[in-house]
Amino acid sequence: MSRKVNSVAVTGALGNLGNKLLLHLAANSQVKHLIALDKKPADKTHQSVLLDCAGKREIDVEWVECELEDWEDLRWRSAFDRAEVVVHFAAQNPYPDASWLDADNSLIMNLNTAHAAEESVLTNRYIFATSNHVMGQYKGDGMTPGSLGPDLNPGVGTLWHSGDKQIDSTRYAAAKWAGERLCNFLGKRAANSTSFVSIRIGWCQPGANERSTLSASGTPTLKQDLAAANDTELWFKQMWLSNRDFCHLFQRAIEAECNNWPYNSIIVNGMSDNTGMAWDLEPTRKYLNYQPMDNVFSNAKSA
């Protein structure tokens, strides 16, 4: 079952994931009011491209330059009172090589936006873009396909060698894990007023997000040609989330009814239908009616 949603606010609107979702919602949903929040101002190109995606459909697009770390910033606080759904992507550093200072600032944004969504007079759903790195310590455990479910104990932080240097994503993942815990707490406290969805996103690269550019580097901030093909490469490839599946997944998170959820807050995995991966997509299918179409090992063209 799907519910009708008229207004959606997206944080990190100028980033990789935020921009992709906004363009998709403008072109492929019935949302009439989009609120795009970012710490940077949107240039005319971003504004016109988003409106062009809507075509002839009437849509109101509101761009809000704001500081999510500042609870007193009423620019974003008031925007939440105009949105039925808030999708939170914004982070100080959206990559796993984030510092503790980055993680601290990201955590403040997570705390502020989740609490504001619960307190909003209009917001009835908060969608938190969390990360596979919350379960990164399971890497190398030889888990069987589909066994890495969202109900397992967290394993915060991934350790791997990119081919150039050793990387530890614990700092980045800690802020995501704390955000998940907060969403679970607020969802239970909010009863039926606000529902919370935490999506542990796999690997959705900037831009075209092609299979051919996936590598053992595990992050676009490192050079692919330095990455060795090994078990680490397989781990990251198997968590690929295509652009098409990403957009479908988040639209389902926006529109899905929550009648069959065990609680008013859920955590689900967000990957494409990749052969042999440890990640369990059954809860995502069950609670959000997610129907992924792409597979990292298929030759079929992904949208």
Return the domain boundaries, the chain.
7-288
Q: Specify the residue for token string 């030889």.
A: 142
| pLDDT value, residue 1 | 73
State pLDDT tens for residues 125-176.
999 999 999 999 999 888 999 999 999 999 999 999 877 788 999 999 999 9
How far is residue 65 from each of residues 10, 41, 117, 192, measured CA to CA in Å?
A: 12, 5, 18, 31
Does the pLDDT of residue 221 top 60, yes or no?
no
Does the pLDDT of residue 123 top 90, yes or no?
yes
State pLDDT tens for residues 166-217.
899 999 999 999 999 999 999 988 777 899 999 999 999 999 999 988 876 6
State percent of the chain over pLDDT 90: 84
Give the integer Cα–Cα distance in Å for 81 and 72.
15
| pLDDT value, residue 71 | 98
Does the pLDDT of residue 226 top 60, yes or no?
no
Which option is the CATH number for 7-288: 2.160.20.10, 2.30.30.240, 3.30.70.270, 3.40.50.720?
3.40.50.720
Give the integer Cα–Cα distance in Å for 271 and 288.
13
Average pLDDT, the chain: 93
Query: Which H or E element spans position 62?
Result: strand 60-65
Which residue type sits at 298?
S
Give the integer Cα–Cα distance in Å for 131 and 207.
19
